[in-house]
Structure 1
Amino acid sequence: MQAIRWGAALAVLTFNAAAQAASPCDNPTDQTTMNQCAGKALAASDKQLNDVYRSLNQKVSPEGKVALQRSQRAWIAWRDAQCAFETIGTAGGSVHAAMYASCVDELTQAQTKRLSAVNTCQEGDVSCIHR
């Protein structure tokens, strides 16, 4: 009886592993899938950034909230302009959406890391940011 349970568990694990490996984003074969996968990756990174932003926003003083909001808005404008510049060579092409999303994703992950570091500091203490 226990052998049957182990066999069933192994079958489920094998099926789950095969299903995970079969994700279209593991090896996209067409531009539409590449664009969709880049968009999904960006959405996940954006959610992480928003979570860190909300956490930091709850931690800082009222003046810090204003400065954080101003900083984040300026960063978003810079990020979008930077990625528009970096992907200008693909503008109008089918690969542009994936390239742009990939650029925004990379910069979003970097900003998340930076805000996470700030989130570990006491407000005003910048010594822990660049460790």
Structure 2
Amino acid sequence: MKKLVMLSAMLMAASALAQEDAEFDCANTSVQWQLNECEAQAWQEADEQLNAQYQESRRVMKAWDAEASDMAGAEEALVRAQRAWIAFRDAQCTFRGYQARGGSMEPMLIYGCQAELTRQRTLQLKEQTDLMGGN
């Protein structure tokens, strides 16, 4: 019974520490796992913005195809380009991670690369969409 009480106390203490660690300021940290988490969050936010822009771009390309039947195929070209871009991004960022291969910094490098390239791609899609009749 004594061991069970001690184990419970240790688990509660570990849980409290984990909760404290979960709240940190990405601008003011130098702890590697937190830096990794910050870059993962940045990539997730960039990916959400990309997905929203991609949906808007597909909507505009469908409208373009409907209006310009002799030049239809914009939506299909967008889908092919996006799939190729995702493969490029993933390969490029894996390559960038080799600077710290196997180390605790590798995820930060990969996530940072993914966030950077994803933000760039979002801008590319927006520019192309605007040129083709988007808002």
TM-score (norm 1): 0.72
1:120 aligned counterpart, secondary structure: helix
Q: Is the contact between residue 97 and residue 109 of structure 2 (CA under 8 Å) also seen in structure 1? A: yes
In structure 2, give the amino acid aligned to 1:48: Q
CA RMSD of aligned residues (A): 1.6
Residue 42 of structure 2 contacts residue 115 of structure 2 at CA under 8 Å; is this kept in 1? Answer: yes
Task: Please state how far the C-alpha of 1:89 moved relative to its aligned partner.
Answer: 2.1
The answer for the alignment partner of 1:94 in structure 2 is 104
Q: Distance in 2 between matches of 1:33 and 1:86?
A: 20
Q: Which residue of 2 aligns with 1:36?
A: 37
Q: In the alignment, which residue of structure 1 is the partner of 2:55? A: 54
The Cα of 1:85 is off from its aligned counterpart by 1.6
**How many positions carry a matched residue from both structures?**
102
- What is the rounded CA distance, in whole Å, between the counterparts of 1:23 and 1:57 in structure 2? 37
Give SS of 1:105's match.
helix
- Aligned counterpart, 1:15: none
Structure number with larger C-alpha Rg: 2
> In 1, distance between residues paired with 2:56 and 2:97?
32
Of stretches 73-82 and 22-31 in structure 1, the one that deviates more from structure 2 is: 22-31
Partner of 2:121: 111
Superposed structure 1 runs of 4+ greater than 2 Å apart: none
Q: Which amino acid aligns with 2:91?
A: A
Structure 1: gaps of 5 or more residues: 1-21, 124-131
CA distance in 1, matches of 2:132, 2:125: 13
Higher helix content, 1 or 2: 2
Structure 1 residue aligned with 2:132:
122
Is structure 2 residue 46 aligned with structure 1 residue 45? yes
The Cα shift of 1:100 comes to 0.5
Question: 1-side partners of 2:24 and 2:33: how far apart?
Answer: 14
- Residue ranges of structure 2 left out of the alignment (5+ in a row): 1-22, 66-71
- For normalisation by structure 2, the TM-score amounts to 0.70
